[in-house]
């Protein structure tokens, strides 16, 4: 079972790209993620999701996106996002990740400054839904699927082929979204408050945490804190705390030398019985049953 691992700032720690060729394609089944959900996170890479089968929901910067097979999402670098699947048995996608400098190593060069920087710094392009009903987007996704095959096959010279094709696709993206570039938008204060709250939770989940403490950490009142969590994460602050605690207990359960009671307390739960209750609710089994899998 997979899960997103983050640091205190919610930066994803699962993997980083090879600096020699900062481009990677993976084939994902979102149903394999913990609780069919991947937690809020961000990363310095640009990410493109192409949904092949099933349905999924993404929440990106306070906006919800429902995706079905044949659709996709462009997610810009450093953008907080999370997702969940609507069908437990099937939700497969192709995920493209690349560093912006993949297109031009010289970040002071004309290619980076003229064609990359305006896109990655655009507040209007924090995310873009890709639809098969829009001709250029349909072709764009189709071309990336071909690139995915090249990446899997890794024939001699595939890096050159991919770099050339991605540059061509980036040109198309740049031209088609030019009207969205250089449009300043006000800072999303809710997102910034959310990041502060989540960072506090990540750093303190092993301790007793109250709603008042979470609200204080993000500089707001308790009711406003609850509103922000509900709008962005579709859950309450304390429910999210329990989610983080359960997620972080999963690796500990692999160590059979530790008792479940010990793991419960180390994960921030007030008792083993409450840990078992929350675990069953979120995982569909008891900690002991999960340990035996």
CATH number of the domain that residue 206 is part of: 1.10.10.60
Is residue 167 domain-shared with residue 31, that is, in the same domain?
Answer: yes
Q: What is the pLDDT of residue 85?
A: 77
Look at residues 137, 163, 180 and tell me which one is the last residue of a structural domain: 180
Is residue 220 domain-shared with residue 158, that is, in the same domain?
Answer: no
Q: What is the pLDDT of residue 223?
A: 96
Q: Per the domain annotation, does 17 fall within a domain? A: no
E strand map for the chain: 23-29, 37-41, 46-60, 63-68, 72-75, 81-85, 91-98, 127-130
Q: What is the pLDDT of residue 35?
A: 64
Is residue 98 domain-shared with residue 217, that is, in the same domain?
Answer: no
Number of domains into which the chain is organized: 2
Q: Per the domain annotation, does 13 fall within a domain? A: no
CB 143 within 8 A of CB 136: no
Q: What is the pLDDT of residue 235?
A: 86
Look at residues 180, 205, 232 and tell me which one is the last residue of a structural domain: 180
- Helix then strand then coil, in percent of the chain rounded to 5, is 50, 20, 30
Domain harbouring 104, CATH code = 2.60.120.280
Is residue 155 domain-shared with residue 210, that is, in the same domain?
Answer: no
Q: What is the pLDDT of residue 199?
A: 87
CB 45 within 8 A of CB 89: no
Q: What residues form DSSP beta bridges with 72? A: 50, 130
Q: What is the pLDDT of residue 188?
A: 67
Taking 50 as the pLDDT cut, the residues of the chain under it are 185
Q: What is the pLDDT of residue 234?
A: 78
CB 272 within 8 A of CB 253: no
Give the H/E segment covering residue 263.
helix 260-266
Beta strands at 63-68 and 81-85: parallel, antiparallel or unpaired: unpaired
Is residue 37 domain-shared with residue 171, that is, in the same domain?
Answer: yes
E strand map for 102-156: 127-130
Is residue 158 domain-shared with residue 212, that is, in the same domain?
Answer: no
Q: What is the pLDDT of residue 87?
A: 60
Is residue 91 domain-shared with residue 213, that is, in the same domain?
Answer: no
Is residue 193 domain-shared with residue 162, that is, in the same domain?
Answer: no
Q: Per the domain annotation, does 10 fall within a domain? A: no
Q: Per the domain annotation, does 85 fall within a domain? A: yes
State phi, psi for 49 to the nearest 5 degrees: -105, 125
The domain in which residue 199 lies consists of 189-292
Q: How many residues would you count in the chain? A: 293
Is residue 36 domain-shared with residue 163, that is, in the same domain?
Answer: yes
Q: Per the domain annotation, does 126 fall within a domain? A: yes
Q: What is the pLDDT of residue 1?
A: 63
Q: What residues form DSSP beta bridges with 83? A: 38, 58
Is residue 203 domain-shared with residue 151, that is, in the same domain?
Answer: no
Q: Give CA–CA dist 194/56, Å, rounded.
A: 22
């Amino acid at each position: 079972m997979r899960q997103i691992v983050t640091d205190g700032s919610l930066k994803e720690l699962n993997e980083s790209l090879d600096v020699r060729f900062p481009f990677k394609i993976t084939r994902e089944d979102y149903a394999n993620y913990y609780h069919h959900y991947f937690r809020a996170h961000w990363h310095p890479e640009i990410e493109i999701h192409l949904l092949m089968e099933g349905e999924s929901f993404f929440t990106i910067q306070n906006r919800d996106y429902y995706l079905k097979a044949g659709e996709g999402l462009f997610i810009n670098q450093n953008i907080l996002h999370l997702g969940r699947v609507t069908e437990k048995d099937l939700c497969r996608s192709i995920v493209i990740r690349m560093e912006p400098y993949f297109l031009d190593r010289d970040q002071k060069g004309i290619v980076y400054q003229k064609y990359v920087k305006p896109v990655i710094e655009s507040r209007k392009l924090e995310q873009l839904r890709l639809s098969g009903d829009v001709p250029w987007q349909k072709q764009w996704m189709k071309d990336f699927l071909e690139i995915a095959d090249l990446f899997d096959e890794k024939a001699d010279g595939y890096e050159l082929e991919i770099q050339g094709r991605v540059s061509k696709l980036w040109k198309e993206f740049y031209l088609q979204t030019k009207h969205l570039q250089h449009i300043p938008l006000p800072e999303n204060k809710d997102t910034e408050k959310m990041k502060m709250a989540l960072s506090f939770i990540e750093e303190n989940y092993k301790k007793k945490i109250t709603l008042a403490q979470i609200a204080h950490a993000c500089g707001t009142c308790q009711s406003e804190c609850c509103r922000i969590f509900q709008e962005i994460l579709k859950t309450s602050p304390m429910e999210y705390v329990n989610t983080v605690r359960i997620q972080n207990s999963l690796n500990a359960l692999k160590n059979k030398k530790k008792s479940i009671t010990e793991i419960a307390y180390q994960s921030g739960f007030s008792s083993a019985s409450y840990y078992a209750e929350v675990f069953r609710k979120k995982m569909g089994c008891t900690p002991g049953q999960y340990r035996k899998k």
